[in-house]
Structure formats: C-alpha cells, structure tokens
Amino acid sequence: MKSDRFLTWLGFTIISTVWGSTWLAIKIGLRTMPPFFAAGFRFVVASAVLYGIIRMRKLTIPFTPDARKVYFALGVLSFAIPFALAYWGQQFIPSAVGSILFCAFPLWVAVFSHFFLVNERLDAFKVVGTLLGFVGILIVFSPDLSMPESSAVPGMAAILLSATMQAAALIITKKHGHAISPFTMTFVGMVMASIILLLLGVLFEPFSAIVWSGEAIGSILYLAIIGSVLTFVSYYWLLKRIDAVYLSLTSFINPIVAVMLGALILDERLASTVLAGATLVLTGILISNGKMLYGKIRATT
C-alpha cells in the first residue's frame, strides 16, 4: 500500500537524520553531565514517555519466552552495555575514528542475518552496497584520520564491541520480536538500560560532577523524546517490514549528518571529501536495495 511505503521512507528518513543530530546533542550535554548518568537519565525520561503512550494505547506487555529474549537483547545488548562502551570508548579516541569503527555495525548485521535469518541471506547487491557505504564513510573522515596511539586501543575495542553487540541485538529482535509492539519492547529495554546505566554512574562517577545546566536538561530531553522514543519506536516498527541489513545502513548516514550539523552549529570544519563520501554512501544504499527494486520493476513489466 502507498501509505505503508510512505511511512517506511518517512521512518527511514527520521532515523537517518535524527540519530545524526544526537552526536551533537550528546556532545553538548556532556559539558556538564558525566556520561553514564547522562545516558541513564536519557533512558529514564524516555521510559516515562513510553509508559504514558502504552497506557493511552492500552497496550499489554507480554512476557512470553520470545518477549523475554527481545527484552534482554534490547535492554542489555542494545541499550545498556553498548551505550556505556560507546560513551567510555569515545574518551580515548578521536570522534572520526569512533564514527568509522561504529560503521562496522551494518557489516556485522549482514553477517549475522545471513546465518541466523533464513529469509535474509546475503546477495551480491547487499554485499556491494554495504561495502560501498563503508568506503564512503572512510572518505568522509579521511582528512581527520591519524594513526591512533597504543593508549587508544581500549577505546577502539570498546566501540567495535558496542557495534557488534548492537548488531546481535538487532538480529535477535528481528527473529523473536515480530509479535511485540515497538512501544512495549522499547519501553522494557529502556527501563532495564536506565537501571544499569545509573548503577554504573553511582559506582564510577561522582555526584558532584552532575550539573543541571540548561544545556544538560535540553540535551537529555531532546535525546530522550526525539533521539530515543521517536527514533527507536520507528526503528523497530521498520524492522518488522524491511530486511535488517537495509535498516542497519542508516548508520552510514548518521555520521554524515553529524559532520554537517557540527559545521553549521559548532563552526567545525567541513572537509571537501564529505560530498564525495556522502554520494558513495547513498549509492551503496541504493545498490543494496537493488534486488528488491529489480523485483518490483520486473513485476510491473
């Protein structure tokens, strides 16, 4: 149906652009808020908003074996540990290196989906498109890349582990979450994540480092309502309708949006390679969808 097609593209656009802006919002919020507490408060607010939506829509929260697998995947493998690793790892490496390392996410999704999702095997279109997208990201950040020192290795490993865990969580959710509302699965996952992240904050971060500045509050509210509720609900709604690999390719667009916003808002330098890299990323996404598009063209002829 045309309405479903429109909502699919709308959701894809929202995820691609909004998550690109969250890097800027996180950077602003961390000026006066330590990372574990910042992430934990973000999920507390998002959980409260989602609970209100669930009550209004009179949705039930299932606890079937499949549902418990999805809740664990989202709460632990997607929200809590990966966010803690990403925040922690970013302290030791340049943001450009972090962005490139996290773009291993769609590569892992492609591998995991091939082996664990029967109907989403890899084909030439997906392989070529995903690799082109990754090369595009390398081009975007090439002016800022330098050989990291040995002290950066733990941070690099943390980002890579974060990407791998989130890829595994996406496949588990795709396999077992087809009967669960995106609102309820996101709510339970974020409640679990907020508990874990705030506990990490209590254990490793001083309360004196928390400053409730306007920047911190604005960052948390934006990241919770727009960067979490809107995007993650859209994300898991889309996961029921398109291949996991196609959805994961939004992570190639996010850093490009982040770079452009940094140039517009924070006066950061915009390298000449951004346009070339972005073009290659978009070409890769188009190619990865080639088999699906080709099938539709044949069906109409």
With respect to residue 8, please indicate whether it lies within any of the assigned structural domains. no
With respect to residue 204, please indicate whether it lies within any of the assigned structural domains. yes
Q: What's the rounded Cα separation, in Å, for the pair 203 and 220? A: 21
With respect to residue 1, please indicate whether it lies within any of the assigned structural domains. no
Please say whether the beta carbons of 23 and 167 come within 8 A: no
What are the structure tokens assigned to 113, written together? 């989906």
Which helix (H) or strand (E) segment holds residue 295: the answer is helix 290-299
Looking at the structure of the chain, the number of domains it has is 1
With respect to residue 6, please indicate whether it lies within any of the assigned structural domains. no
pLDDT at 266: 65
pLDDT at 28 over 60: yes
Q: What's the rounded Cα separation, in Å, for the pair 192 and 195? A: 5
* Residue type for position 240: K
- Segment 18-37 shows an average pLDDT of 85
What are the start-end ranges of the H helices in 30-91?
Answer: 35-57, 65-72, 81-89
Q: Based on C-alpha coordinates, what's the Rg of the chain? A: 19
Q: What's the rounded Cα separation, in Å, for the pair 152 and 223? A: 27
Instruction: Please tell me the number of Cα atoms within 13 Å of 156 on its side-chain side.
Output: 12
Domain that holds residue 115: 17-299
Average pLDDT score, the chain: 87
With respect to residue 98, please indicate whether it lies within any of the assigned structural domains. yes
User: Distances in Å between the alpha carbon of 130 and those of 203, 236, 243, 284?
Assistant: 39, 21, 13, 6
Backbone angles phi, psi at 289, to 5 degrees: -90, 10
Spell out the residues 6+ positions from residue 134 whose beta carbon is closer than 8 angstroms to its own.
103, 106, 107, 252, 284
Which pTM value belongs to this model? 0.86
> What percent of the chain is predicted at pLDDT more than 90?
52
End-to-end CA distance of the chain: 19
The band of 148, judged by pLDDT with boundaries at 50, 70 and 90, is: low
With respect to residue 11, please indicate whether it lies within any of the assigned structural domains. no
Q: Which pLDDT tens digit goes with each residue over 111-144?
A: 999 999 988 999 989 999 999 999 988 888 777 6
Strands (E), the chain: none
With respect to residue 7, please indicate whether it lies within any of the assigned structural domains. no
With respect to residue 10, please indicate whether it lies within any of the assigned structural domains. no
pLDDT at 51 over 90: yes
